[in-house]
Amino acid sequence: MPVPLSSFWNGDGHHHLLEGLPSSFEHWSAGDEVDEHRRALLDRIEVALSSKIVSTDVRADSDRSLVLEVELEDGRREIVRALVQGHDSEMFESEVALLPWLSRRTLVPVPRLHCVVPRTMTEPHTFAVMQKLPGDCLMNVFGGLSYPDKESIVREIAKIMLQLNDVSVPQRIGTTLIRDDEITLIPPQRITPLPADVARVFDTLEEYMYALIEARRVSDMIGTNDADRSRAHIALARLASELPPIMARLSSPVYRRCVLRHDDLRDTNVLLDGSRISGIVDWEYHSTIPVVLAAQPPCWIRYDGIYDPRFTDTALETWWLASRVDASRLRAVYSQTVKALNEEYWHVMTEGELLQQIEEWLTEHRPDPGCDRMSAWMDSAFHEPK
């Protein structure tokens, strides 16, 4: 089945029609061959849902988890998230516990959790069954919408972010682990993970930011040869020297209050049904984090920081979901919406922009040998000559 074309813009501002995210990476129908491990998983899903599976589509498949959309004999369609054997179940437990907790406290459109089935001695998969929300991912839809519809969606996402801002969470930096409606924290889970010797629940913004610098310093993301690592260490030392005055300006409790943040709110994890947001999905990466880092416009209307065309990886083609002009107008809409609803949050968002971008550079999951792209950004952000 061909993937529909979607609208994207490149760094030079040229519009392109390209394939978006496919609805399935692998389709299976009843009667098709299937390996014994997948068959065992499907059998357990059928028992949990009291219905035969007619077909499945692989929606995501990583070394950590498998996400299936299953069509059942009784007509239902559900999402199954299965933990890959051998991986820590704490992150899986964290995500599935957060969904009902959020549903009870906010109107954020998250999937309803139907059940969680743990692994057994003989069957290795732990899996969760959750509601399949309507719509398609924002990546596939947003670029082709009318400008008024884009404005409407941006206003909606602003209201969702303000709901997350109002949820009461522990005042430390970590990822939630909710049991019996009580929140404890585990070390922040990141797409680019923190090494064991710096991963912990952090008490202060300073501890967290310097841990990110140390994690980057020992990461392979900065390169593996001596020349790359030497340049990277110089760049990271420079960044560390720039942090104290930045954080001193953001020392008031109004900036430091911890809120809940979806740490992977990219265009594939927002669902649109027509011109409305129908779902915020994939909460595997989330954290309690100072609001000064959480309060920022969505990445898919940004052209700054790691999304600035001047500092993207020239070896890779990078695409945006809106032209530079439209993205600027939409950021203004986002800012105006936030300011009208919560002026304090708007002020924090505005004042925290530089620190937010620093965190993004330190948690960037794409390689940056020598921290050369980050260094070029610092030359611009800190107004020093190259």
Q: Give residue-wise pLDDT tens across range 65-124.
A: 899 999 999 999 999 999 887 667 888 999 999 999 999 999 999 999 999 998 876 677
pLDDT for the residue 122: 67
Q: Calculate the alpha carbon distances from 274 to 140, 265, 354 in Å.
A: 12, 19, 34
Of the candidates 283, 288, 289, the one whose C-alpha atom is nearest the C-alpha of residue 95 is 283
pLDDT for the residue 377: 97
The domains of the chain, with CATH numbers, are 34-132 (3.30.200.20), 137-381 (3.90.1200)
Average pLDDT, the chain: 94
Of the candidates 277, 281, 258, 364, the one whose C-alpha atom is nearest the C-alpha of residue 95 is 281
Q: Calculate the alpha carbon distances from 12 to 61, 302, 309 in Å.
A: 33, 15, 8
Element (H, E) at 69: strand 65-72
Q: How far is CA 347 from the centre of its chain?
A: 23
Encode pLDDT of 324-362 as tens digits. 999 999 999 999 999 999 999 999 999 999 999 999 999
Confidence tier at 191 by pLDDT (50, 70, 90): confident
pLDDT for the residue 385: 44
Cα–Cα distance measured from residue 115 to residue 290, given in angstroms and rounded to the nearest whole number: 32
Encode pLDDT of 236-273 as tens digits. 999 999 999 999 999 999 999 999 999 999 999 999 99
Instruction: List the Cα angle 348/353/354 in 5-degree steps.
Output: 130
Confidence tier at 62 by pLDDT (50, 70, 90): confident
